[in-house]
């Protein structure tokens, strides 16, 4: 696969959940032409990003925390943002993708910034010497950095979009760098296998700074970087946590960061206070009989399957599923095959997800019960009837999650 083909795929991944509603907002109309800009996943592009950061003369905070990993990035940062904000720190949070509104990606003390501020900041970026060479996600990251800089914050919490080494977030020497977990995802961009993926993600590690690795075995490619740079290294062991939570890996990592860098905070007590606020899009019980989960790769679906098996073994499981057009259907469906009794595959009218007919064909070929011809509004009616002993589980795509939240007028 050529560099240009890889760039196109990566660009699609970044923007997969951007335009989720038919009537565009003012912000989405503004972004429409920018979304067409070609992606560059190259060393030269990253060099231009670093140059742009220098040109912007940013007011950097006292702490920058950068997080990469296959799963759990957003959850880890959301926990940190809430705990630190609750303890009087001024906190900027940058994550992707969004579930309902684009503004969710840039928050200050857990409140999304306005359309006006985002648009005005993007316009100012046009003065950068290499502006025309940057793609949408790169400009988004730069805009976020400017917004945070203008607010004079204490802490920046930054989620890596993909990989790490060439991501805009890596323009900064983070005080804390985190790899939540390394599993197989986006191999068409990052390389085949955990070693190649690990090498890209380990690019955010800095010498003599804190580095935290979460769940699972550490690839040799990451170990080599650790040995070379000698960071203040911590491996999180979730088994020692005194807190039962689906986000055990995220909770463990967030707790370790708080214990190492913010010793004045009673980390466990503060995290316990958050309770239900930890899981929007992650095993989120939207209704008594309806769980919404944004699992969108094989590893995260396995986590979902484990959660359902451990907590709802006596229920009839009814899946609502779709997946991104770049994903393999079997990778996301197989972990759930043995526990799902019925499947629904709504047509989302989006070219960024696989067609319902294609997914239905696959499920039928596996001998599964598939209910055809339902849209989300019809499914909502069925769910709201609260059929006895039935549990609906929606998973597979951020786009699906966003549309479900919209249908329930759920605010994040």
pLDDT at 297: 87
Say yes or no to pLDDT of 38 above 50.
yes
Instruction: Tell me the per-residue pLDDT of 67-81, one tens digit each, with 9 for 90 and over.
Output: 998 888 888 999 999
pLDDT at 141: 95
Q: Once rounded to an integer, what is the mean pLDDT over residues 259-287?
A: 83
> Between 242 and 82, whose confidence is greater?
82
Q: Once rounded to an integer, what is the mean pLDDT over residues 250-261?
A: 94
pLDDT at 407: 84
pLDDT at 136: 86
Say yes or no to pLDDT of 12 above 50.
no
pLDDT at 169: 95
> Between 146 and 42, whose confidence is greater?
146
pLDDT at 19: 43
pLDDT at 248: 78
> Between 382 and 3, whose confidence is greater?
382
By mean pLDDT, which of 275-279, 310-314, 372-376 is the weakest?
Answer: 275-279
Distance CA 374, CA 372 (A): 6
Distance CA 377, CA 360 (A): 19
Instruction: Tell me the per-residue pLDDT of 89-113, one tens digit each, with 9 for 90 and over.
Output: 999 999 988 777 888 899 999 999 9
pLDDT band at 39 (very low <50, low <70, confident <90, very high): low
pLDDT at 42: 63
Say yes or no to pLDDT of 273 above 60.
yes
Tokens in use for 362? 């696959």
pLDDT at 13: 45
Q: Once rounded to an integer, what is the mean pLDDT over residues 358-364?
A: 93
CB 222 within 8 A of CB 164: no
Contacts of 256 (CB under 8 A, 6+ apart): 212, 234, 236
pLDDT at 337: 95
What is each CA distance from 20 to 11, 143, 328, 347, in whole angstroms?
A: 16, 21, 22, 13
pLDDT at 402: 85
pLDDT at 20: 42
Instruction: Tell me the per-residue pLDDT of 303-339, one tens digit each, with 9 for 90 and over.
Output: 899 889 988 988 999 999 999 888 889 999 999 999 9
pLDDT at 11: 44
pLDDT band at 244 (very low <50, low <70, confident <90, very high): low
Say yes or no to pLDDT of 212 above 70.
yes
Distance CA 353, CA 332 (A): 13
For the chain, domains (ranges, CATH) are: 3-278 (3.40.1190.10), 284-407 (3.90.190.20)
pLDDT at 294: 84
pLDDT at 29: 72
Mean pLDDT rounded to a whole number for the chain = 85
């Amino acid at each position: 696969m050529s560099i240009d083909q890889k760039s196109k795929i990566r660009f699609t991944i970044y923007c997969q959940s951007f335009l989720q509603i038919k009537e565009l907002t003012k912000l989405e109309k503004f972004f429409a032409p920018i979304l067409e800009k070609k992606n560059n996943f190259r060393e030269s592009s990253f060099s231009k990003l670093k140059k742009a950061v220098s040109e912007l003369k940013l007011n950097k905070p006292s702490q920058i925390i950068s997080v990469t990993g296959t799963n759990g990035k957003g959850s880890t940062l959301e926990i940190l943002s809430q705990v630190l904000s609750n303890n009087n720190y001024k906190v900027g949070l940058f994550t992707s993708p969004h579930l309902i509104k684009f503004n969710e990606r840039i928050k200050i003390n857990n409140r999304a910034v306005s359309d006006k501020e985002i648009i005005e900041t993007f316009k100012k970026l046009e003065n950068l010497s290499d502006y025309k060479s940057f793609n949408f996600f790169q400009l988004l990251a730069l805009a976020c950095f400017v917004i945070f800089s203008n607010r004079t914050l204490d802490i920046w919490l930054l989620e890596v979009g993909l990989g790490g080494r060439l991501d805009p977030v890596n323009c900064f020497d983070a005080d804390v760098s985190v790899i939540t977990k390394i599993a197989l995802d986006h191999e068409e961009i990052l390389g085949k296998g955990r070693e190649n993926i690990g090498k890209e993600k380990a690019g955010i590690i800095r010498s003599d700074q804190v580095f935290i690795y979460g769940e699972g075995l550490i690839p040799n490619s990451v170990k080599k970087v650790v040995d070379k740079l000698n960071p203040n290294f911590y491996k999180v062991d979730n088994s020692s946590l005194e807190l039962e939570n689906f986000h055990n890996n995220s909770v463990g990592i967030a707790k370790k960061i708080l214990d190492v860098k913010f010793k004045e905070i009673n980390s466990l007590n503060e995290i316990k206070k958050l309770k239900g606020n930890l899981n929007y899009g992650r095993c989120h019980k939207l209704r008594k009989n309806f769980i919404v989960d944004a699992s969108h790769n094989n590893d995260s679906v396995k986590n979902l399957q484990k959660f359902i098996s451990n907590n709802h073994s006596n229920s009839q499981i009814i899946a609502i599923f779709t997946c991104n057009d770049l994903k393999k259907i079997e990778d996301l469906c197989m972990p759930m095959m043995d526990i799902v009794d019925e499947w629904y595959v709504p047509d989302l009218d989006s070219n960024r997800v696989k067609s319902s007919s294609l997914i239905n064909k696959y499920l039928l070929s596996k001998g599964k019960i598939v209910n055809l011809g339902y849209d989300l509004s019809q499914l909502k009616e069925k769910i709201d009837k609260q059929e006895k002993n039935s549990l609906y589980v929606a998973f597979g795509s951020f786009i699906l999650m966003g549309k479900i939240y919209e249908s329930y007028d759920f605010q994040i």
